[in-house]
A and B are shown apart, each in its own frame.
Chain A
Amino acid sequence: MKSLVAEEIVKVYQEGGSRVEALRGISLALAPSEIVILEGPSGSGKTTFMSVAGCLLSPTSGRLSVEGQGVDFSRPKDMVRVRRESIGFVFQSFNLFPALTVLENVLYALQIRGKLTPEYEREARTILEQIGLGHRLDFIPARLSGGEKQRVAIARALSGGSRILFADEPTANLDSHVGLEVLGILRRLAKEEGRSVLVATHDPAVRTIADRVVRMRDGCLVEGENG
């Protein structure tokens, strides 16, 4: 079973009377343990597609199925459910909660997902230790390096057992050495833990971990596959 199946996703924005077609019938599937790289120039629709596939944004038309369950975009609660249960995000600018410590950033995500149990808390601590942040649990983000922040973001995205990880330019704010470390973590998550990873990037180094590369331009998939 595919982790995520997007079919004929169309997103049209109405801006000041003009019509902008951000996505023009994108179809893409993610399998467990698969790392898919989404490439394309700025304005090609990568972010919009990730927003729709990540249930942050509803499409104008099209279908989305996550872990075998169709998403009803007409019901915001259904989108919230999918984000809560199945999908984790990693962003270029980390988006950590600056007032919370490393551990609290992860625990808060568990809390929002209704999974702040001792079992998940242990798992969160384990993940943080595995990615080398065991000694930074009580640090606030301002005291962390860029690489450490991104690792916290990954740990937060995975908390509560999310099986699908969306990463937007995860190496853009990191130097090449730290970037490789982060890519190594993403690869391990996919290959050892069976999670699906979709990475939007301009960074050619990311291709080294990819199972598949798809390319977007003007809201369409132009390379890779559509369906």
Chain B
Amino acid sequence: MVDLSMKMLLHDRLRFALTTFGVAFSVMLVLVQVGLFEGLIGYAADTILPIRQADLWITSRNTQNIDFANYFPENLVNRVRSVPGVERADNLMVDFMPIHLPNGSSDGVMVYGLTHYWKWGVPWNVVSGNPLDLRGGPYMFLDDFATHRYGPFRVGDYREITNQRFRIIGVLHGLRSFTTIPVAFLDFYRAQALTDITFGKTAYILVHLSPGADRKAVMAEIRRRLPYNDVFTRKAWARRGQDYWIFKTGLGFNMGMIVFLGCLVGVVILAQTLYTTTMEHVREFGMVKAIGGDNGDIYRLLMRQAAVIAVAGYLAGTLLAFLIKPLAKKGDLDLILSPGLLATVFVATLALCLLASTVSFRKVSRIDPALLFRS
């Protein structure tokens, strides 16, 4: 078997390398953009999905995402507790607060407050400390990500949230809000008392269903009893927050444009290269016809070249993306290169490269083998 397509492709190695690099750059661009986006969007659900005990989340009406909490009376939790099918329900406070640092500066902190942490498996990823102790007084657990913004801290240190001192009694790891503001866990009532606005109020109610409870029926009953609140399943609430950032902030459109431009760059580079190659090899393609080949033989040849460039470009681009991953980590960004993303980008690369090869088809179909008679 004589592989003319590969021989032609590798005959001009510099062009092959440059074309492959063009595709690799596009693949890398798309993988990094989408990977970073997935990482970023993942933060929007980072404090929702891990609370597996919370089958349902009750929010005030029209709350868009967990960071932008609105408040409602805390005693509504009692109505929820009395709904058949509800095994447990507790208030959760979430609020953005100023934190004062030892160097005299201030920053922001996303405060989470809950009464029965141990019942909800919150907080998770505990590096040191016992969450049970949060009930004991003005204490807090702080995620070690805060080191990047607040400077180093240790268990036993104090930090002021609003004007109240809290002792750090535990450290967490890997928890982040979408806005990258560090997360701190406090006792519910301590969190509630940080401002007057939240006095007697809560941001959310977490609901754990009884075994065998009809989730839809419970949700309907809660909606009936709390007509000014929204009720979501855990996943729906997480999705709502992510959708907010994707669709209501322009972030998704921006990311989509970058992906589109990445694809466009790859397709244009490849289409241009293949077309130029076709023009330069037009006599050879004419010869393919003269020895008994037809347009289909040449189309297959061009498509094979496109496929080889696609695979080589994809592998090189993916390698580059994996090399960038630790660099992103250093910049506190999660670059998520999931198998699904890698597979999707591979299929898209192959499809777009094959599409690019069709630009040359028209030229091929018009090749007049009689040109071979010209010297």
Contacts and interface: CB of A to CB of B under 8 A. Distances in A.
A111 B375 contact: no
B370 A112 contact: no
B119 to A, nearest CB: 72
Given A97-B287, A104-B2, A107-B2, A112 B373 contact: no
Contacts of A89: 290-291, 372
A168 interface: yes
Contact of B287 (A80, A85, A95, A173): A95
Given A95-B372, A116-B1, A168-B373, A80 B294 contact: yes
A91 interface: yes
Given A47-B373, A57-B368, A77-B294, A112 B7 contact: no
Interface in A22-48: 47-48
Contacts of A98: 11, 284
A158 to B, nearest CB: 11
A51 B287 contact: no
A58 B361 CA distance: 21
B292 A97 contact: no
A88 B287 CA distance: 11
A97 B4 contact: yes
B292 A113 contact: yes
Contacts of B291: 83-84, 88-89, 108-109, 112-113, 156
B294 A76 contact: yes
Contacts of A61: none
A222 interface: no
Contact of B2 (A80, A95, A108): A108
A79 to B, nearest CB: 9
A112 B372 contact: no
Nearest to A106: B2
Given A77-B294, A99-B7, A109-B291, A56 B369 contact: yes
A65 interface: no
Given A89-B372, A173-B375, A100 B290 contact: no
B283 A104 contact: no
A166 to B, nearest CB: 9
Contacts of A109: 291-292
A66 to B, nearest CB: 13
